[in-house]
Structure 1
Amino acid sequence: MAAKSFPKKATAVPNGFSEEVVDSSESEDEVIPAANFAGTFSPPPVHIEFEPIDYFYSMFGKESITLLTEQSNLYSVQTNPNKPARISEVEMAQFIGVLIMSGIYCFPDQRFFWMNTTRVESISSTMSRDRFLEIRKYLHVVDNSNQLDRNDPDYDRAHKVRPLLNIVKNNFRKIEKEEKLSVDEQIIPFKGRSIMKQHMPNKPHRW
């Protein structure tokens, strides 16, 4: 009795392949088309383990600490020449670290980090409460005496933080782009005074 012969099942041909390639793939290794991405990457560092602080400085740069220290000291002198704050760069770096750490907790006031009942050792042992509040009081990015009038055509709404924004933007541009990128946004609730504040009534955070 002769064996029955069945018609060959049609094979779908993906984009970028020929029928010959598809037929041969049944018996050979699968052929994967080359990616169109032609970017280049620097070789990975050898025997270097990055700490969290290294990633922070890769974005904000150590020059941001210098900028904040100089401008905050200047503002303290402008405010009270007889009692300057004399903030060091080490203290400014510690102050920024405390701000980052404080974002983990949901205390209604930053003073809770130093209270006996709610003390957070990693914060309270880094800087005293009074010193933290003093640095926060004088924290500045620019010299207020150089601010343009609001009616000036060159007036910058982000004048108060423009130098810091420029540092961050320049450092972000140094990051090598990969083939696949994901861009997202996040709404930050804010009820302070700012000309750039927006009211969006249909969002979970309206301000």
Structure 2
Amino acid sequence: MPHYDEVQTPLDLFRMFITEDILSNSVDQTNLNAMRKKNLALKLSLEELRRFLGLQMLMSILKLPAIRMYWENGIRYSPVADTMSRDRFISLRSFFHICDDTLMIPKGEVGPDKLFKIRRLYDAFRENLKKNRP
């Protein structure tokens, strides 16, 4: 993980806060979520997750009215379409997870965490902010 004074690219900045541990956990939780919901062996890898997240960021900058349009003939946007198939992207998007839902305390019981779904990411981000104070 780069230190703030070593950041030279947007990717360095991303890696300063979104660590390999967070990404590895997301791979595990996404694969588990697909198995739990659809009994589907998603076989998501760390490298594929990186590509997926990159596409999510790119698509948030260059917005089209519908996700499928990035792959459609006539509109096709190569940086997206050449990176991942449409069906794979939609599948990853539907199963993407960063937490283990089985550990969530149900609403109405004592101690539910309103940030449960993002707690691990939130805590790691805050910790990395503390480590990288100028």
Which one has the bigger helix percentage?
2
**Partner in structure 2 of residue 122 of structure 1:** 79
Question: Contact between 1:61 and 1:171, CA under 8 Å: does it hold in 2?
Answer: no
Larger RCO, structures 1/2 (Cα 8 Å, 6+ apart): 2
1:134 matched to 2:96: no
1:61 matched to 2:19: yes
Q: Distance in 1 between matches of 2:42 and 2:85?
A: 14
Q: Give runs of aligned pairs for residues 1-207 of structure 1, distance below 5 A.
A: 50-81=8-39, 83-177=40-134
1:117 is paired with a residue whose SS is coil
The one-letter amino acid paired with 1:107 is L
Q: Deviations over 1:143-185 (max 9, x none)?
A: 11111021222101111111111121111111223xxxxxxxx
**Partner in structure 2 of residue 26 of structure 1:** none
1:161 is paired with a residue whose SS is helix
The one-letter amino acid paired with 1:56 is F
TM-score (norm 1): 0.59
Work out which of the two has the higher radius of gyration on C-alpha atoms and give 1 or 2.
Answer: 1
Question: Structure 2 regions of 5+ residues with no counterpart?
Answer: none
Q: Distance in 2 between matches of 1:169 and 1:152?
A: 27
Offset of residue 51 of structure 1 = 3.0
CA RMSD of aligned residues (A): 1.8
2:63 is paired with a residue whose SS is coil
The one-letter amino acid paired with 1:113 is Y
Offset of residue 99 of structure 1 = 0.5
The one-letter amino acid paired with 2:28 is E
Q: Distance in 2 between matches of 1:68 and 1:58?
A: 17
2:117 is paired with a residue whose SS is coil
The one-letter amino acid paired with 1:117 is G
Deviation above 4 Å: which 4+ runs of structure 1? none
Q: Deviations over 1:91-148 (max 9, x none)?
A: 1111100000001123121111111222111111111111101111111111111110
The one-letter amino acid paired with 1:85 is L
Question: Contact between 1:77 and 1:85, CA under 8 Å: does it hold in 2?
Answer: yes
The one-letter amino acid paired with 2:50 is A
